[in-house]
């Protein structure tokens, strides 16, 4: 199984973010604490990779780039504007789940994963990770933005196989989190990157405190 990417992006020095980071690190310094899989979800252009690398670097945990785990056949389909079907995604989702668990099994307190998880049943595949150990806790952050914002971001990307035509197809099959999906948190990304980073770190600290208190 291929190794996930671990970011080396510099950490901004905004005071609220540093406070959230320090709180998170203090909480996880205790032994026998829960282990977390933090999953950033949403369609192309929502910032999963950018925010995922930032969070992983800030919290000093591994980052798993979901796009790197797609088999060649999936990449070729998307590069030609052909939407993936459920059958294309199952093995991909399982590989992401198992890689996340592999990192936790060797002692990491958490991993950050970027994964579109557009449908509830895709999110359910990731939730299965919690059945392997009572210490494992999965949380999703749905990165929400209007279609025009997503299109603008995808157009600005260089060298990525995902074209602008895939944004609409992903939004077409997107299943917004339902009320009973209490492990999914909506994050508005139609604002400054710093504000989004701050909200994510604050929410992660709150969720962590709830589990370790």
Structural domains of the chain in order of their starting residue, each with its CATH number? 50-212 (3.40.50.300)
Tally of CA atoms within 13 A in the half-sphere of 115 that contains its CB: 33
Residue 156: per-residue pLDDT: 75
pLDDT tens for each residue of 26-38: 445 445 689 999 9
- Which H/E stretch holds residue 96? helix 86-105
End-to-end CA, the chain = 35
Condensed to tens digits (0 to 9), the pLDDT of residues 130-170 reads: 998 889 999 999 999 999 999 888 887 765 666 667 788 88
Query: SS3 for 165?
Result: helix
Q: Can you give the pTM of this predicted structure? A: 0.83
Q: What is the pLDDT of residue 154?
A: 82
DSSP 29: T
Q: Which two tokens stand for residue 26?
A: 């203090």
Specify the higher pLDDT residue, 17 or 80. 80
- Number of C-alpha atoms within 13 angstroms, CB side, residue 111? 30
Model pLDDT for residues 98-128, shown as the tens digit of each residue: 999 999 999 999 999 999 999 999 999 999 9
With 60 as the cut, is the pLDDT of residue 17 above it? no
CA 104 to chain centre: 16
Q: 16-45 in b/e burial notation, b at 16+ Cβ within 10 A?
A: ebeebbebbeebbeeeeebbbbbbbbbbbb
181-190 pLDDT, tens digit per residue, is: 999 999 999 9
Q: Name the average pLDDT for the chain.
A: 85
């Amino acid at each position: 199984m291929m190794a996930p990417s671990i970011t080396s992006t510099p950490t901004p020095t905004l005071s609220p973010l540093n406070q959230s980071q320090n709180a998170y690190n203090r909480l996880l310094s205790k032994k026998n604490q829960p282990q977390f899989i933090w999953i950033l979800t949403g369609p192309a252009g929502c910032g999963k990779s950018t925010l995922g690398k930032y969070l992983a670097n800030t919290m000093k945990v591994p980052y798993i780039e979901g796009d790197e785990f797609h088999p060649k056949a999936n990449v070729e389909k998307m590069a030609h504007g052909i939407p993936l079907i459920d059958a294309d995604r199952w093995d991909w989702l399982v590989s992401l789940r198992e890689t996340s668990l592999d990192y936790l099994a060797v002692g990491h307190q958490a991993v950050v994963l970027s994964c579109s998880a557009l449908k509830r049943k895709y999110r359910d595949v990731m939730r299965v990770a919690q059945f392997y150990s009572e210490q494992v806790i999965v949380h999703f952050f749905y990165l929400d933005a209007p279609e025009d914002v997503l299109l603008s971001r995808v157009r600005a990307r260089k060298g990525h196989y995902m074209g602008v035509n895939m944004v609409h197809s992903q939004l077409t099959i997107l299943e917004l989190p339902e009320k009973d999906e209490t492990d999914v948190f909506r994050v508005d990304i139609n604002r400054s990157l710093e504000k989004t980073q701050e909200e994510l770190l604050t929410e992660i600290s709150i969720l962590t405190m709830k589990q370790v208190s």
